[in-house]
Structures are given as structure tokens and as C-alpha cells.
Structure 1
Amino acid sequence: MIMYTVLGVLAFVAAVLVLRTFKVVKEYERGVKFMLGKFVAVLEPGLRTVIPFIQSWERVDMRVKAVDLPRQESITRDNVTVEVDAVIYYRVRDAKKAILEVEEYSYAVEQLAQTTMRNIVGEVDLDALLAERERISRQIREIIDEATDPWGIEVQSVELKDIILAENMKRVIARQAEAERERRAVTIQAEGELEAAQNMADAANTLNDEEGALHLRTLQTLNSLSSDDSNTVIFAVPAEALRALEGIGADDGAASPDDASSVSAPASSVGAPE
């Protein structure tokens, strides 16, 4: 009876040991196997054996991990205090190195990312931090990726999610942006006035260069004004036009004295008082 009991216990223990010997490694995992504390092999996906009490193993997830970094407070190169939110995407490239070269690789990557982000933010001005976010993210990623390469880690991306400023600094930036918009508006207006003045100067030069162009322009203006009967127009006749009329009158007087006297009579009557 005692023998059967012992055999039953041994059979149960053997069954447990056999069950514990077989390990399932999933497709997105790798296993780092040790024998008596010494590295033996990297277990690929599938059903694998690990002898209890003699061998052990560590399971490593090879998928990309997204780590939301805690908000970091830093001071930019121009002494502005900012808080930066970021997320880092990385994956284990070499399972053996991730287990053997660093303790808790996920914690190590997170701490390295935080310190690197603070250092890079402290090396740039606020304007560069706000305007060149993509370049700064890429620079942070390159530094972290190089530092974690001996750990078998590949950093795929670092994204700056948000840059938080103090309220007084937000007001300063808003005033600066408003001043910049006003400056641009004044510049555009000045450029428009300069272009208009240049066009007017070109037109004046053209009218002066072309004989009769000024007179033609004057007649066109008078014609457009006379189209509306409600307009009262006071204008000055150019001296050239008066001299032309005088010449015409002189020619007519020489040809017919009677016509000249008939023309001069109404002129004198216009100037005489009633």
C-alpha cells in the first residue's frame, strides 16, 4: 500500500515536471534560455523545452512598444521654462542583448529618453522649439537609438506631443504675433503704394513722351464727367490748348475780318457787367 502511494506521488511529480518542461513561445516573442545561470540559446517561436531546476528562461516581447513619457520641465537656451510631453516608440531588436546587457531594458529606455529630451530642449531657443518640432524629435530619436544600440534596442520614433508654456509667456507670444501681423500689413501696404506710384510715374512719362497724349487724356476725362448732368465741373484748360485756340483765331481773323469782329463782340459782352 505504501509502495503504491509512493509510486503515485512519483508519477504525479514526473507529470508536473514533464508539463513544466514544455514551453510555448509565441510568434512575436523570443526566449532567452539559461542552463545553471549560463546563456545557452535564444528560443524561437514554437514548442520548446526547458528542463526544470536545471534550466531557466526569460520571455522577451519583440513588438513595438509605445511609452508615454512623463511630462518634463526644462529651461530653453533663452531662459524660458517649458513643459514637454512626448511619446517614444521602440522595439527589441536582439533578445539576447536586451536580457544580458541591461537590467529592465524598458525602464532604462524610458529614463534615457527623459534625460535626453531635457538636454536637447535646453540647447535650443523657444522659437526653434516651437517651429522645428520635427527636427528636434528626430535629433532626440537619433541620440537615444545610438545609446540603446548595445542593449539590442531599436528606437523607431520620438514624438513631441505638446509644449506647455506659462500663462504670462503665452500672452507675450500672442502680443509678439500680433505685432508681426501688423508689421506685415504695413509692409504690404507700403509695397502696394510704391508699386502704384511707380505705375503713375510710368504713365506720366508716357504722356509726356507722346505728342498729343495729354490732350487726348484730358478729352477722355471730360467726356466721362459730362455723361452725368448732375455734375458741376470746374477745370483748367492747358496753356497749350489756349495757344492752339489763339492760333486758330488769328488765322480766321486774317482770312475774314468780318468774322473776327463777329467773334470778338460776344467775347466783350461776356466780360462786361450787366
Structure 2
Amino acid sequence: MFWTKKVVIGDGERGLVYRNRRFQQILLPGVHRLSVFGGVPQVSVHNVANGAAYAGNDQDSLLEALGTQLGPHFVLANVGAQQVGLLLRNGRIDEVLPPGSRRLYWQGAVATEVQLLPLEDEPRVPTAVLHRLGQLGVLPRVATLSTVPSESVGLLFIDGTLRRALGAGLHAFWNFNGNVSVERVELRARSLDVAGQELLSRDKVTLRVNLAATVQVVDPVLAHRTLSQADEFVYRQLQFGLRQAIATRSLDELLADKAALDGEIASHVRAAIDGHGVQLLGVGIKDVILPGEMKEILNGVVLAEKQAQASVIRRREEANATRSQLNTAKLIEDNPVLMRLKELEALEKVTEKIDKLTVFGGLDGVLKQLVTMK
């Protein structure tokens, strides 16, 4: 008819009727005839499948015009400045709405709702939401993720301010209302090597010393607040302690008692790092490297000492051997039977080295004439 306008709205669609540039009504799926009296109606057809967002530019005007009739057709997402919105379609998270969002979503075949979560001072993502957002694939875009391994802690910073320490595990924080970062700190003991330190002993001998130490962070929050770089601080204190200990000792004292040197260095470092959340577990001198000339001199001294010791030992053993022979001679002089026994032992040693022996004059001749001690 000439005074009506036919409008067809399909399944999964809604029609918004405007007359004289003002909203009038919403058309559901079906065939509609609209009167042209009072102005030709303009119909805007929208796809509402899967709870689509309203794409028009008159969202606020539409909200005002519908008033209490909004519920059957739209879902309003009105997210506050300290809130995060979760858009759920059929009970599953489909979108994350940032703070301050104001959006309209069509009500259709898909059940659509908006869940609001408070943004607290520490904007942690709830554990249940964390896994669902991970399946959705939007987690890296809306949250800061950090995995803290075992035997470590994480230091939580919000807008550059240290808040607290985090335990091992996966942590996620909304990144809408602040810059969130997590710094990992190792709690296990680790080694620090102070290598190639050229130092001067008390007797003006130049040495190159290698030092090894074992340190551990016991209070990561305190260590961060008092030290910019914990390892570098301990390294410098090891250098200072080593230099001080070497300068007060001569070369002979250094080589004679390294354990005392280790204890002095450890005492200096422990006093310096006390109250900084770092613990020194142990320290030890690995190598003391001398210049080439000094090494040759020391080798000569050691060689002379060992030769002198060997000479003393040799003289002492010779004196003991001579004394033993004298005692044996006195025993033989006083005992003829012992003398004869020694003669027979000498004969036995001689005959062991002879392959064939011819005896003249009988065995008595051999015993009396071949072996005779005068």
C-alpha cells in the first residue's frame, strides 16, 4: 500500500526504526508494515547473532529512549573506573572490558551477560579467571604475566613502587590502571669469583690472587631496598677485604697460613653486608700466583732446604748402621757359635750363585778352608 512501508527482519537480526531522525521502536524478526504518515520511517537493520556489540553511533540516545525497555533487547556493560568487565556469552568469557567502558550488546539466541570485577590496590587476576582467559588467548594483552620458579621469589612493582614479594608459581595482574612488573630474585646459594687481583704484600712482593666466595640472598625485599646490585656490592667488599688482608702480611706469612687469611676476609665482608639481606656462606683463596723471578727464588730456597734435610737424614742413617755393625761384631767376638753361623750363611750366599761346584778333600775341607774368617 502507498501509505505503508514493508520491512522484513530476518532471524538473527533486529531493526531500529527512526522517524524524523528520532528513534521510535525495535523490530523483531518477521514482516512489518510501517505507516508513512508523520514522516517516512528509516529502518536500520543490525546483526544480533552471537550477542554482537551495537555498532551505531547513537548509543547514549538509544539508552535514554529505551529506558526500562532496554533489558529485553540489550545488555549494558557499564564498567567503572576501578573495575574490569568480563563479557560472557553462554557462560564463557569472550571479551575483557577495560575500566571506564560503556557498551551495548544485543540480546539474541546467545545468552550474553557482563561480570564486573573490582580493581583493588593490587590488581591480581583471580585464579579461576586466569585459566579461562588463557584459553581465550587474550591474557598477554590485558594482563602482566610472570612465572616465578621454585627456589626464587618475585618482587612486585606497581608504578615503580615495590609492593611485596611473590612466591613460586604463575602470577597475573591487570595492566589497566598502572604499570605492573615482577623482578625475579634467586634464593639459592651462588658463587662469586674474584680473579686476577694484583696486590702488594707487606714486604713489597707483587702477587696475583684468585678468590672464591659463596653468597645467598636471605631477604630479597631488604636487599632491593638497600642495595642497587647485591652481587656487585659483595664483589667490591671481597676486593676490599682481600686487599686489606694481603697488605698486612709478608709473603712467608701468606704462604704459611691461608686459613687465617680466609677468616679475616670473611669477617670484613660479613660486617660490611650485615643488614642488607645478603649472607656470606664461605670464602677461600684459590690461587696465589707469584712473579717469575720470585718463583725461581722460592724454588731454590725449597730445593736447598730439602737437600739439607736429606743430608741430615743420610748421616743419621749411616750412624745408625755403623752402630748396628759394631754391636754385631761384639756379639760375634764373644760367641764362637754365632761366628760359625755367620760363616755358614756366607757359604750359602756364595753357593747360590754357583751353577756347578767340585769339592776336593771332602766337606770338612770346604767348611774349614773355603770359609775362614780371620
Give the TM bin, normalised by the shorter chain: 0.5 to 0.7
Amino acid at match of 2:296: R
SS in structure 2 at match of 1:124: coil
Equivalent in the alignment of 1:145: 270
| Alpha-carbon distance, 1:195 to partner | 2.0
- On the 8 A contact 1:90/1:153 being kept in 2, the answer is yes
Is 55-64 or 11-20 further displaced after alignment?
Answer: 11-20
Equivalent in the alignment of 1:174: 299
Is 136-145 or 92-101 further displaced after alignment?
Answer: 136-145
Equivalent in the alignment of 1:120: 245
| Alpha-carbon distance, 1:97 to partner | 1.4
Alignment partner of 1:80 out of 205, 216, 232? 205
- On the 8 A contact 1:117/1:140 being kept in 2, the answer is yes
Is 28-37 or 173-182 further displaced after alignment?
Answer: 28-37
Mapped partners of 1:222, 1:55: distance in 2? 103
Distance change (3 Å), C-alpha of 1:219 and 1:48 = closer
1:156-214 deviation line (CA, Å, top 9, x unaligned): 3334332211111011011011101111111111221232344345446656xxxx716
Matched, 1:41 2:126: no
Alignment partner of 1:213 out of 321, 334, 337? 334
Equivalent in the alignment of 1:26: 149
Mapped partners of 1:70, 1:36: distance in 2? 39
- On the 8 A contact 2:241/2:264 being kept in 1, the answer is no
Amino acid at match of 2:225: L
- On the 8 A contact 1:68/1:86 being kept in 2, the answer is yes
1:120-161 deviation line (CA, Å, top 9, x unaligned): 222333234335445533543343234323211122333433
Equivalent in the alignment of 1:156: 281
Alignment partner of 2:186 out of 30, 41, 61? 61
Distance change (3 Å), C-alpha of 1:227 and 1:186 = farther
Amino acid at match of 1:59: R
Distance change (3 Å), C-alpha of 1:3 and 1:27 = farther
| Alpha-carbon distance, 1:109 to partner | 0.9
Is 89-98 or 130-139 further displaced after alignment?
Answer: 130-139
Mapped partners of 1:60, 1:121: distance in 2? 33
Equivalent in the alignment of 2:318: 193
In structure 1, the gaps of 5 or more residues are 236-274
**Higher percent of residues as helix:** 1
| Alpha-carbon distance, 1:76 to partner | 2.3
Paired residues, number:
227
Q: TM-score, length-normalised on structure 2? A: 0.49
Mapped partners of 1:30, 1:144: distance in 2? 25
Equivalent in the alignment of 1:272: none
SS in structure 1 at match of 2:227: coil
Distance change (3 Å), C-alpha of 1:163 and 1:227 = farther
Distance change (3 Å), C-alpha of 1:234 and 1:78 = same
Equivalent in the alignment of 1:238: none
SS in structure 1 at match of 2:209: strand
Is 182-191 or 220-229 further displaced after alignment?
Answer: 220-229
Mapped partners of 2:273, 2:57: distance in 1? 58
SS in structure 1 at match of 2:228: coil
Distance change (3 Å), C-alpha of 1:2 and 1:23 = farther
Q: TM-score, length-normalised on structure 1? A: 0.64
Mapped partners of 2:324, 2:228: distance in 1? 75
Amino acid at match of 2:295: K
SS in structure 2 at match of 1:48: strand
Mapped partners of 2:212, 2:328: distance in 1? 62
In structure 2, the gaps of 5 or more residues are 1-54, 59-76, 78-94, 99-137, 348-364
- Report the aligned-residue RMSD: 4.0
Mapped partners of 1:228, 1:101: distance in 2? 99
| Alpha-carbon distance, 1:57 to partner | 4.7
Distance change (3 Å), C-alpha of 1:110 and 1:227 = farther
| Alpha-carbon distance, 1:88 to partner | 2.4
Mapped partners of 2:369, 2:240: distance in 1? 81
- On the 8 A contact 2:146/2:182 being kept in 1, the answer is no
Alignment partner of 1:184 out of 285, 306, 309? 309
| Alpha-carbon distance, 1:54 to partner | 6.4
